[in-house]
Amino acid sequence: MMKKFVFSVLTAVLIFTAQVSHASPYIERTVKFGETLYSILGGIFDSAQVVEIVKEIKSQLPDFTLKAGATLLTDENSVLFKLSMDKELRVEKDGDGFRVEAVKYPVETVTAYVSGTIESSLYNAITSTGEDFSLAMKMAEIYEWEIDFFKDIRHGDSFTLLVDKRFIKGEFAGYGRVHAADFFNNGRHIRALYYENGKTRGYFTPEGNALKKGFLKAPLKFGRVSSTFSYNRLHPVLNKVRPHLGVDYAAPVGTPIYATADGYVSKRGYGKYNGNYIGLRHTNDYHTLFLHLSRFANGMNVGKYVRQGEVIGYVGSTGISTGPHVDYRLRKGNTYINPLTFKAPAPKLPKAEVAEFQDTTKYYASRLDEVLVKAAYASKTVPTM
């Protein structure tokens, strides 16, 4: 059955491509606000046909919605709706009638190596290899519990990813799973292997230790530390020495702020000094506080349960502030903790599951080892594995 399905899809693609190649030149434009299927099709078909065409479209594509900004290709006999990279809808004259044809192009997936060296930032290192910025985001999400991309990155750090790349009609269509990764950070070699068995899902070290910990290293994906934890800091606005029991992360206004751990919203409000603030209560009497927000994420009311990595608000400069940033604070009980030195314990796979994990991930681990060996030969050094 699968072979038959693949054949039919490819056949449809070939037929569709042949038809387009012999059609008269298309005029390309975008759907304007307020346009409808009826107004677009009405220039080619009579009103009775348009009614039947709309019914047929809904029959073939029940979720079809015409959106302003979508691409249209038209000629005197047909309309081609480019719904997405892998899906198109063609409506054309067929004698005295019409024909509606939805085509879904197959997605080709290739697992590829991506390697780079950091000169200034992870973003620049990824994009300098010719890859999209979204891959930097994927990598930051894998290592966000291990590496603070605000302060831990060093010149000369390097990485290798094994990632699925998707292609449609020969064009790049985005990234899939990152199966495995190596990151060399300031002398540390951190390997991440993806593992999923129905109950467990995530990235682990070769020993079965989860990279995901109880708390994220930072509440932002990217930015810079503009002020550190201190009991004696000269306040930049008040010009008085006062404790600064948090870490300031500078970033543009509107940058998303993420919950660093699962918990409940315990407070939310506005203060003269702190501006818009939101606080979360976590297990084991841990608490986090986020100050100077421009606004809160939708639904962030007291009592709401939020997941680690969920957006809770956005960077601002409300209250007494010299510029856009979030002041991130962490405490256990009544004792404030320096977020930059705090180490949350990492969960481990059960001993009975480690062997299965290592067997499942050994293929991708071996492919990363091949890269290390080649690099070692190139530099005439012995790799550490």
What average pLDDT score do residues 175-202 get? 92
> Are 298 and 277 contacting, i.e. CB atoms less than 8 angstroms apart?
no
Domain-located, residue 362: yes
Domain-located, residue 218: no
Whether the per-residue pLDDT at 7 is higher than 70: the answer is no
Domain-located, residue 301: yes
Same domain? For 96 and 112 the reply is no
- Main-chain dihedrals φ then ψ at residue 47, nearest 5 degrees: -60, -40
Same domain? For 128 and 276 the reply is no
Domain-located, residue 153: yes
pLDDT of residue 241: 65
Domain-located, residue 318: yes
Provide the mean pLDDT of the chain: 86
Which stretches does DSSP call E strand in 222-316?
224-227, 230-234, 241-244, 247-250, 256-258, 263-271, 275-281, 286-296, 305-306, 311-315
CA distances from 261 to 149, 229, 271 (A): 18, 20, 24
Q: What is the pLDDT of residues 118-143, one digit of tens each?
A: 998 888 999 999 999 999 999 988 99
Q: What is the pLDDT of residues 304-315, one digit of tens each?
A: 999 999 999 999
Q: Which of 56, 85, 104 lies at the terminal end of a domain, its last residue?
A: 104
Domain-located, residue 344: no
Same domain? For 113 and 188 the reply is yes
DSSP secondary structure, 290-325, as one string: EEEEEEEPTT--TT-EE-TT-EEEEEB--SS-SSSE
Same domain? For 92 and 148 the reply is no
Q: For residue 149, how many other CB atoms are within 10 A of its CB?
A: 22
Q: Vertex 57, ends 83 and 55: CA angle to 5°?
A: 155
- Main-chain dihedrals φ then ψ at residue 85, nearest 5 degrees: -65, -30
Same domain? For 354 and 209 the reply is yes
Q: In this structure, what CATH number is given to the domain that contains residue 87?
A: 3.10.450.350
How many structural domains is the chain composed of? Answer: 3
pLDDT of residue 2: 33
Q: In this structure, what CATH number is given to the domain that contains residue 263?
A: 2.70.70.10
**Picking from 13-17, 117-121, 286-290, 375-379, which range would have the lowest pLDDT averaged per residue?**
13-17
Whether the per-residue pLDDT at 290 is higher than 90: the answer is yes
Same domain? For 156 and 207 the reply is yes
Whether the per-residue pLDDT at 18 is higher than 80: the answer is no
| % of residues, the chain, pLDDT over 90 | 48
Domain-located, residue 219: no
Domain-located, residue 343: no
Which tokens is 228 given? Answer: 């550190």
CA distances from 187 to 119, 248, 368 (A): 15, 27, 18
pLDDT of residue 255: 95
pLDDT band at 10 (very low <50, low <70, confident <90, very high): very low
Same domain? For 354 and 208 the reply is yes
Q: Which of 104, 133, 157 lies at the terminal end of a domain, its last residue?
A: 104
Which tokens is 329 given? Answer: 């604070």
pLDDT of residue 278: 98
What average pLDDT score do residues 320-324 get? 90
Same domain? For 83 and 138 the reply is no
The Cβ-side half-sphere exposure at 320, using a 13 Å CA radius, reads 8
pLDDT of residue 235: 60
**Picking from 54-68, 249-263, 352-366, which range would have the lowest pLDDT averaged per residue?**
54-68
Same domain? For 181 and 114 the reply is yes
Whether the per-residue pLDDT at 236 is higher than 70: the answer is no
Same domain? For 6 and 93 the reply is yes
Q: Which of 104, 136, 152 lies at the terminal end of a domain, its last residue?
A: 104
Whether the per-residue pLDDT at 343 is higher than 90: the answer is no
Same domain? For 38 and 126 the reply is no
Domain that holds residue 113: 108-213+349-379
Whether the per-residue pLDDT at 277 is higher than 70: the answer is yes
Same domain? For 245 and 163 the reply is no
